A and B are shown apart, each in its own frame.
Chain A
């Protein structure tokens, strides 16, 4: 066994908190930062520290922001009657990129995952309920993932919100845009048939 200095070991261990980063990648990253890009490493350390110190959750939508209220929530031009619920801030960014939604968001920062023991108390459901009951929201659009966990979350949310008299919708799924039946995976095609709509 080669002897690795403890500070290097510590860095490798620290890098492993990143999703999908195992010991091999962490070691590669650590050596890269130390050998090739010490300036970048210092920047990374500062950026991390600064982000941790300044970022908080938006009071309205729960996404990361430096202010009390994020830019989207603070935008008066947006449609305040529609609220799109997503699992993570990255999902919010994806929906924003479509330019197809002009309402506001709520970020759960997770999903229900019964088999991992993640229940209603472990995600921001209470805050969503308060947010959606502000009197302005007319429709809640559920844009959780189409995984079994995302679907379970959507079901729970719809029951919870409809019990409060809110109108709830779910984003559609089916063939990809430009998708040809010949090349699509059979599971997607089967579900597109199950969820076909009348014209």
Chain B
């Protein structure tokens, strides 16, 4: 036994470890007999798949900590695609989401699951996600338009940090964006002048290019964001968007 144990110890010591990493759980599901499989967004390691062993057992303490939309400090190890959770510490500071802000939180998580590849560190996007969740947690259960700037700010951060955001000052044909003209988004090429009222006003695009993320501009870019995200998402629509639409129809 002792002979067999030694090399195993050594292998464990060589296993990559991550300690007390700021992270949020995007999604989780039962895994194998008594475990849970976590889809985690961490600050320095990006999206990571982590198994929480024993977390599915009745009375497991881990489930009270492994909550979605809650800042955690996670420690894990493992060299493969699937890591093993070593410790989870609840950080606090953000009230649990409820009501419409909760559904918006699901929307952010679905965007990340669909667009952010695994194991690609993206600290700026993590910061944007953290800020968005925090902002959502401060809203009342039934906010009005206050959710919109929060969602737009996150969508913008997502698109630009993944390299999908175009230069907001220049059209697909290389012309300067005009403040009074409206624009749409053509997948594969870029901004195109739009004749319809649904297009985004050029002045809003120029404000974005100048780094202004004021609500008045963010509210105007919604149709454009939707076109851009739809082109990235592909044929499979976002479940959370459908849920928000269903909710509106009630």
Would you call B243 and A112 a contact (CB within 8 A)? yes
Tell me, in angstroms, the Cα distance from A19 to B70 when the chains sit together: 27
Which of A152, A185, A188 has the most B CB atoms < 10 Å from its CB? Answer: A152
Write out, one digit per residue, whether chain A residues 27-52 have a CB within 8 A of any chain B CB (1) or not (0): 00000000000000000000000000
The segment from B60-68, B166-174, B224-232 that touches chain A is B60-68
Q: Are A187 and B246 in touch, CB under 8 angstroms? A: no
- Interface presence of B103 (CB below 8 A): yes
- Rounded to whole angstroms, the CA-CA distance of A156 and B106 in the bound complex is 13
Chain B hits for A159, CB < 8 A: 247, 250
Q: Which residue of chain A has the shortest Cβ distance to B142 in the bound complex?
A: A159
Consensus secondary structure, chain A interface: helix
A21: chain B residues at CB < 8 Å are 33
Q: Determine the chain B residues whose CB is within 8 A of the CB of A25 once the complex forms.
A: 33
* Cβ of B114 to closest chain A Cβ, rounded Å: 10
- Say whether B240 contacts A114, CB under 8 Å: yes
Q: Nearest Cβ in chain B — how far from A183, in angstroms?
A: 11
Residues of B within 8 A of A190 (CB): 92, 95
* A20:B34 contact, CB within 8 angstroms: yes
Residues on B with C-beta less than 8 A from A151 are 96-98, 102
Chain A contact residues, CB within 8 Å of chain B? 19-22, 24-25, 112, 114-117, 119-120, 148, 151-152, 155-156, 159-160, 163, 185-188, 190-191, 194
The 3 A-B residue pairs with the shortest CB-CB distance, nearest first, are A148-B68, A185-B64, A114-B240
Chain B interface residues (CB < 8 Å from chain A): 26-27, 29-30, 32-34, 56, 61, 64-65, 67-70, 90, 92, 95-100, 102-103, 105-107, 109-110, 113, 141, 239-240, 242-243, 246-247, 250
Question: Can you name 17 extra interface pairs (CB under 8 A) apart from A119-B239, A148-B68, A187-B92?
Answer: A20-B32, A20-B33, A25-B33, A112-B243, A114-B107, A115-B27, A115-B110, A119-B243, A119-B246, A120-B246, A148-B67, A151-B97, A152-B102, A159-B247, A185-B65, A186-B92, A187-B64
5 CB < 8 A contacts A-B: A20-B56, A148-B105, A156-B103, A190-B92, A194-B95
